[in-house]
Amino acid sequence: MQKINLGEKLATFSDYFSPRTVTTYNGHDVMVAKLNGAFIWHKHDDTDDFFLVLKGVLDIELRDRTVTLSPGEMFVVPKGVEHRPVAREEVHILLIEPTGTPNTGDAQTAAPRKIA
């Protein structure tokens, strides 16, 4: 039950597409992540996906359009909707998913959940 400084948490790691849990909220992991390049197309059948951009510009590609997010902008990908995050530069995000959600939508390919 401590306050969380998101910038300090982001400074503790440098690998991309490997979210760090900074706290939990109602059964969800609240995470920070660094992105660079294109992630894979995936969907989460059981959960919405919460993105808030803290630094950089993030494209969230959907099958029919692309949502471009700058710092201070957020987007919720509804459950079941295919999406692909693409960072054309280093991007920092706040990400919320239920604890245990594989970041790729597939436990076989998901990054291990780490704590910062």
Query: By three-state DSSP, how is residue 86 classified?
Result: strand
Instruction: Give the x/- contact pattern for a second copy in 55-74, rule: CB under 8 A.
Output: ------------xxx--xxx
Q: How many residues bind a second copy (CB under 8 A)?
A: 32
Query: Residue 32: which region, alpha, beta or left (left: phi > 0; alpha: psi -120 to 50)?
Result: beta
Instruction: Give the x/- contact pattern for a second copy in 82-101, rule: CB under 8 A.
Output: ------------x-x-x---
Pull the structure tokens for residue 113. 């959940």
Report, in Å, the least distance between residue 53 CB and a second copy: 9
Rounded distance between C-alpha atoms, residue 20 and residue 94, angstroms = 10
Picking from 41, 32, 37, the residue whose alpha carbon sits closest to that of residue 92 is: 32
- Is position 6 an interface residue for a second copy (rule: CB under 8 A)? yes
Task: Kindly list the residues in this chain that would bind a second copy in the complex (CB under 8 A).
Answer: 1-7, 22-26, 28, 30, 47-48, 50, 52, 54, 67-69, 72-76, 78, 81, 94, 96, 98
